[in-house]
Each structure stands twice: as structure tokens, then as C-alpha cells.
Structure 1
Amino acid sequence: MKNLVFTFLGLISVINLFGQCDLKITTNTKSKLEICKGANYLVQPKVNVPSNIVWYKNNDVFEFADNYSAYINAPGVYKVLATSIADPNCTAWSEEITVTTIDFPTVELSVPKTSFCPNETVLISSNLTDQSGWNIQWYKYDVQIDGANDENYDANSTGNYRIEISKNECVRFSNFVYVKKLNAPDANFDLSLVGAKGVNLTNTTTGANSYSWNFGDGVNSKLSNPSHIYNVNGTYDITLIAASDNGCSDTIVKKLFIGSSANNDLAENYLEVYPNPTSSIVRMDNNFDISKAKISVIDVAGKNIEIPIDYNLNLIYFSSVDSGIYFVKVLFNNNQLIKKVIKI
């Protein structure tokens, strides 16, 4: 048995002596490796027989490695020498690994203001200008924003925003930027006619403390609840701009129809409407052939209202409309007459 063992060992020695070393070494990476600056990349060699491993960097022994792994974090040319444990004369070199590092650009975010009104957006700008090869992704509260892959982002809601840049396995985030969407006033008002050409405006706006009115005839007011008298009949756009302390505002426009009998072509006694106010039906008593007239009903906004009109019985049916002020407009032989009707 001993003779058999010595014969086997002798055979191995003879094989190695005549160059029959079959040691092979590979690594888990490519020959050219681009790594993130400041990061550690684990490189692990593999050998086909038990071996001792020595790492080299730029042809010098690389001390920051053990037998079977090395954490590489700097540029250079790396290679591994493997020596068979069974035969010190049996050695093999790995393929050289050329390592370069990726330098991250410094990523900073800025905003012109940190709060904005509901009808606005705020542009979050990055200092990234020409970053070819880098992937960009915007986040809100660490959740990806779909489709946000440009250098800048228009934010339209409150939140913490930041940008991620990545290349290969390298990832870096910018600083967070917080922006807040402010509350805006909710502008609204009611209007009621006073006499033939007057109007009272009741402000029902919420969330505002300053008001700017335009009555549509060149007259303005800063009062909360103004009144106004028009000089000429017609349809007017009444505009209210309501603003709050935070700088946000809201605008609403309502139309007002002004008409009276004072300057109408037909005399006042040509037509009477009653009962007025009414809850449903208005009767028209007239001194002309009403069947040849054109009758329309208009609301305070100047809009024609579609309601039934019986020309044979001289009746207008207001039962289908809301309570409020309406105008009955009669055109007869190119003359007109307007009567105000109150629906209760």
C-alpha cells in the first residue's frame, strides 16, 4: 500500500515537472470595471484546485484582500496570482481587471419660492445641465413620480421633493426641497336688484380679507358688500377678485341684466302683469294684439329662460323656475316693453 501511495505522488511530481499544471483562475467581473466613487466592489476569484491567492494592484501586492475576495474602491489595474497548494510550482494569473471610478456630479435643488397658490406651480430646479449617461428620477416623499425624468420639475402639490441620479449601479440622491400649496379664497356673491337700475351685492366669499369689484361699466369698488346704480340699460359683467393674506386670490364673474320701463318705446300702461310677486302663473293684460308680439323671459344674468307662454290666454307659467327676479320682455312693431316679475 505504501508503495502505491509513493508511486501516485511520484506520478503527480512527474506530471508537474513536465509542465502539466492544470490550474485555472477566473473572477466574477469583467476585464473593465466601472465602479461608484467611494463604493466598495467585491471581486471574488475562483480556482479549480485548492490554491493560495495573492492580489496585485498596479503590479504591487494588494494588502487589502484575503485569499478569496477583495473589496475594490479605487482605480487601478488588478490581477490575482494563484499557487497550487499541492504543487508550489503550479501557478496561474487571472485576467487583468482595469478599474475606473464614476465621479458623481454634485446635485443641488433650488426653488424661487417655497409656497404657491392653487392656480400656480413652482419650478424645482436642479444644477444638472449636461449629464449625458446619467438617469434622472424625481421623487415625492420617496415615491417615484411617473414620467418625471428631466433636470427640473414643476410641482403642483405640497410635498418633499428630491432627485435621484444613477448610472450602472451608482445611485445618489439630492437634498430634499419642501414646497407648500396654499389655500385660496373661494369667491362668490349674491346680487339683488334695487329699483330699475340699482343692484346690491352680498359677498359670500370665504377665506379672503380684501375685495376688488368691477361693475362692468368702468366703476370699481373695494367694499365688502357694495351697491351700484347703472345709468344705461344692458347686460353687465360684475367681477369680484377676492384675496387673502397669503397672496392667493380667486375671481368670479356674474352677469347682470338691467332693464326698466322708463326709456322703453311702449308706454307703461300698454301691459300689466299680475299677480306680482307670483308663485306660478302671471297674467298679461294688454292694450295691443299680444298674439303679434314676441315675448321672452330673462333672468338677472341676461339669460333667456325657456318657460311656457300661452299667447291665447295671455299667461306665462313661472312654476318651473327658481325663486328670483325675472324680466318679461315684449317686442311689438319694433317697440319694446320690459316688466319685472318676482317669483316666490
Structure 2
Amino acid sequence: TEACGSLTVNFTDNSTNNPSSWAWDFGDGETSNEQNPTHIYNTLGTYSVSLTVANEFGDNTLELENLISVFEVPELFVNVNNASGEDVADGSAELAIVGGVEPYYIYWSNGEENIDAIYNLLPDIYSVMVIDANNCMATIPFTISWEVGIASNLSDNINIYPNPTKGFVYIETTKNIPESISISDVLGKTILEINPTSDISKLDLNELKAGIYFVSIKLKDNNIVHRLIVN
């Protein structure tokens, strides 16, 4: 059984001769005495699983080697060069991949495949998806803005703190109240979304696992994405 990032497994006892006790060893330091336990593997690695059953006549053990594999999900980073005008197709994006297993299969939302950078982009919202050799997938959105000076000024007027954070994060927009603020993971899944009513928003991220996330801030005339690290 294989999965990317984490894996929940429902184990079923198929023993005969009416056992009265069960001892599961999940191979990651965790055990269970339930007959049909559920176990979560959230650490990368390969695990062997054993079950020892017993009744009044004795006991028996079955071990399945390398039964469970949890693979690393690639982390994606996109470096963006904005377009020089609203209708000018001269933006670009360059992809960096950390982790996972090569070869990588790369799919850009504009139709390009298996290249590290794309060019001649109009201002818009794009995404890129990567699938590695273990079939682990990651997706990241990014925005090509227009008029670099305006986009830079907009970015300068947004403060995200503390970053890295261990729980709460504040997002401050000094000139405009955003239409929405969303948090997404490296797979592109939206974790949290709010519609702010003031120029300072406080988000509770205590339930998030440590890792890299992306803050998407939708303004009236622009969309800005910032990276956020949760420890």
C-alpha cells in the first residue's frame, strides 16, 4: 500500500480458530490491541506490519514486510516576472522543485508540459502541477500581474506577520481592504478563506501542519500571492 504525504490504513483481522487477543505492530513504533484497528502513517518511510493472535491453545504471528510506503510530496516554488502591460504577453514564470523523486512530469495551466519555465504570458492567474516518479502530485497557483511598478507597490502595501508563524498570522493591507484572503497548501488545496472587513485580518492557523503555504490576496484590480511558513 502506497501513498503520498500521509496514509490512513484500516487493518482487518482474518484469523481463524477464534483468537481472543490481538497484538498489532505497525512498524513505526506504534502498536494496538484492537481486533481491527485504524492507523495513520504521517512520517515518510517504508513499514513492515505484524499481527500476533492468541487463544487458549497458543499464539501465531504473521509479518508482512514492506507493506506500507509513504512518499514525499514535492514542494513547488515559482519565480514570476510580471508583464509590462495589461495586454502585453511578456510575463514569465520559472519553476523550482524541492523533494520528491525524479523524473518529474510538469503540466502548466497554459498547456505547456515538461519544461521548467514558460514565457510570453498575459496577465492572469495560472498554476503548475508536478507529478513525480512515485506518482505524488503537487500544484501551486501564481499570478502574472501587469505594470511591474504598480504590482510592486501593491505588494509593498501588504504586510504578513509573523512569517514564519507557529499559530496566528496577521495580514495587513495599508491601502485597500481585500475582497478575499485565502490560504492554500502546496497541492493547491484551499485550507481557509475569509472576506475581510478591515485592513488587518487575524487568521488562526493552529490546526495546520508545519510546512509551506500560500496566501492569496484578491484586491479589486489585482491578485497577489505570498509564501507563508508554518512551524
Q: 2:24 aligns with which of 138, 146, 171?
A: 138
Aligned to 2:76: 187
The answer (yes or no) to whether the contact 2:84–2:146 under 8 Å persists in 1 is no
Aligned to 2:199: none
- In the alignment, is residue 221 of structure 1 matched against residue 77 of structure 2? no
Q: 2:47 aligns with which of 145, 156, 159?
A: 159
Aligned to 2:106: 211
Local SS of the residue matching 2:135: coil
The CA RMSD over aligned residues, in Å, is: 4.2
Q: 1:200 aligns with which of 92, 96, 103?
A: 92
C-alpha distance in structure 2 between counterparts of 1:213 and 1:131, whole Å: 56
C-alpha distance in structure 2 between counterparts of 1:305 and 1:116, whole Å: 38
C-alpha distance in structure 1 between counterparts of 2:70 and 2:18, whole Å: 33
Distance 1:124 1:220, change over 3 A: farther
Equivalent positions of 1:60-209 (< 5 A) are 113=1, 115-121=2-8, 126-128=13-15, 134-141=20-27, 144-146=30-32, 149-151=34-36, 153-154=38-39, 156=41, 157=43, 158-168=46-56, 170-178=58-66, 179-196=68-85, 197=88, 198-207=90-99, 208=102, 209=104
Equivalent positions of 1:311-330 (< 5 A) are none
C-alpha distance in structure 2 between counterparts of 1:142 and 1:188, whole Å: 31
Aligned to 1:299: 155
Local SS of the residue matching 1:220: coil
Listed as ranges, the gaps of 5+ residues in structure 2 are 160-170, 177-218, 223-231
The answer (yes or no) to whether the contact 1:163–1:174 under 8 Å persists in 2 is yes
The answer (yes or no) to whether the contact 2:12–2:35 under 8 Å persists in 1 is no
Local SS of the residue matching 1:299: helix
Deviation at 1:226, TM superposition (A): 0.7
The answer (yes or no) to whether the contact 1:124–1:155 under 8 Å persists in 2 is no
C-alpha distance in structure 2 between counterparts of 1:221 and 1:192, whole Å: 17
- Larger relative contact order, structure 1 or 2 (CA cutoff 8 Å, min sep 6): 2
C-alpha distance in structure 1 between counterparts of 2:9 and 2:112, whole Å: 32
Local SS of the residue matching 1:245: coil
**In the alignment, residue 20 of structure 2 is paired with which amino acid?**
W
The answer (yes or no) to whether the contact 2:91–2:144 under 8 Å persists in 1 is no
